[in-house]
Amino acid sequence: MRQLAKQLTALFPVWAVLFSGAALVWPSTFTWFSGDAIQWGLGFIMLGMGLTLEVGDFDRVLRQPWPIAVGVFLQFSVMPALGWALATGLDLPRELAVGLILAASSPGGTASNVIAFLARADVALSVSMTTVSTLAAVVMTPLATQLLAGRLVDVDAWGLLRSIALVVLLPVALGLASRRLLPRLAAPLAEVSPVVSVVFIVLILGSIIGAHRDAILTHWREIAVAVLSLHAGAFLIGYAAARSLGLKARSARTVSIEVGMQNAGLATTLAQKHFVDLALAPVPCALSAVASCLIGSLAAAFWRRTATPP
């Protein structure tokens, strides 16, 4: 069971691409998963993340502060700035521009941990970066969105902060506490939580893509250029910046992956809830997951062939 769960989780990039494509062809297969179901789904994803953590995992932040600090700094500087630059340079419609900036301002996603494993990067470091960036996102995502997207629309930064606290901090804390206080209950749940997270992420992506199928087909060129450029640029800049700041190649690969892959489920949920008047805002958030998985998988294949095994 454990081995099967690992194999299914490792194939997440494949599931994301396949089911996103299926949502374009058969949208009604996914659009039933909407509204509060998306928020509950994201909550379960974050709960699963908490179940896989231990208090001791945070000791790594003290043992490896520099790589983690570099990764989180680049996550909330390079990505939001790149998102804004692309939205402005490509002259995206306001709805798509706000969605792209929000996607770029989100923390690292758990998919990055899968790609880090496939790329022979530092998985433990990847998990730490994802954890720290997720916690930092409570402040940094609303702040970055306010600074950059606030030039285009009114942004309820406090509302974003409250939403992130409810759908991120609370479930993660609950999962962490369950693992510590109820280990017999938490252990089997932790084994299946990555697979459950993959299912919910795929449902969230499929729901958004299916619901906005016509708009995606209308604007597919500009959206594709925007999200592919965003994530390709983030992977390249993340690696180059990490190396220039003195990180070794394996750590730099990890930083590159973390900077290039965001929590699309969180971004999509926030876009739906806080930019109700911008119907297309969730679209770049959902499609950024597909783009990051595609680019991440290609990068992982390259690094797996060329990198020295740890």
Give every CB contact of residue 26 below 8 A, 6+ residues apart in sequence. Answer: 210
Instruction: Give mean pLDDT in consecutive 10-residue pieces for the chain, a chain of 310 residues.
Output: 65 76 84 76 76 68 80 90 92 89 85 76 80 83 85 71 74 80 76 76 79 80 89 93 90 91 81 79 83 82 72
CATH number of the domain within which 237 lies: 1.20.1530.20
Q: How far apart are CA 238 and CA 252, in angstroms?
A: 8
What is the reported pTM?
Answer: 0.80
pLDDT, residue 55, reads 65
- The domain of 216 spans 2-306
Residue 157 pLDDT:
67
Own/partner pairs for 156-163, CB < 8 Å, 24+ apart? Answer: 156/274, 159/274, 160/270, 160/274, 163/269, 163/270, 163/273, 163/274
Q: Name the domain count of the chain.
A: 1
The CA distance from 101 to 144, in Å, is: 8
Residues in the chain: 310
Distance of CA 201 to the CA centre of its chain: 10
Residue 239, pLDDT score: 93
pLDDT at 242: 93
Q: Which residues are paired to 262 by β-bridges?
A: 108
Q: What per-residue confidence (pLDDT) applies to 243?
A: 92
Residue 195 CA to residue 45 CA, distance in Å, equals 10
Helix (H) or strand (E) holding 112: helix 111-118
Contact criterion met (CB below 8 Å) for 182 and 198: no
| Number of Cβ within a 10 Å radius of residue 165 | 13
